[in-house]
Amino acid sequence: MTTVSHTVQDLSTRLREAIRDIPDYPKPGILFKDITTALRQPQLFADIVEALYQQAKEANIQYVAGIESRGFILGSPLAYRLGAGFIPIRKRGKLPGQTAQYEYQLEYGTDCVEIHVDAIEPGARVLLVDDLLATGGTAAAASHLIGQVGGRLVGALFMVDLAFLNGRSQLPPLDLLEALVTYTD
């Protein structure tokens, strides 16, 4: 197993260097932050997971909820590291069994996310994890679902925060709300 090799400040710098910008994706005018170029680097990936763990280790997390699909990539190893269960939050129609759904607005339409209705015991402490916080719509929808099935959302961690889109304002007050790298413009 690899260990953290750098400070948090250095990690932010290394992430900025590793994350690739893709202009006009998925539509014209959008500058897409591609994290796959960071995840393919074994030590950087290990450092990302460890930094997320360091932020959450004192929060007494029982479940990590990851948003499809990059939230799965970060959330699964983080749940393992925290000794917590992992809960997938998926797009409509992807989970078997009975689900709770939440439909939300996007700038160009609507989307829907789901969670199993029996995924979380009432009152269990849940940490939401995703790769990127932009406008906050998907994270807010996931937050709503966690509460709908009885979980207590205590925190949210992101690899990247596009702060200029003000996504944090869409989330409820949380004990823990952090990102490893923040873009202000």
**Amino acid identity for residue 103 in this structure:** E
Angle separating helix axes 70-82 and 42-56, nearest 10 degrees: 60
| Cα 90 to Cα 103, 115, 139, 157, distances in angstroms | 12, 7, 12, 17
Which one is catalytic: 16, 17, 50, 107?
A: 107
Spatial neighbors of 177 by CB under 8 A, at least 6 apart, are 155, 156, 157, 168, 171
Active site annotation includes 20: no
Which one is catalytic: 70, 114, 125, 168?
A: 70
Residue with tokens 């680097």: 41
Active site annotation includes 92: no
What is the set of active-site residues?
70, 107
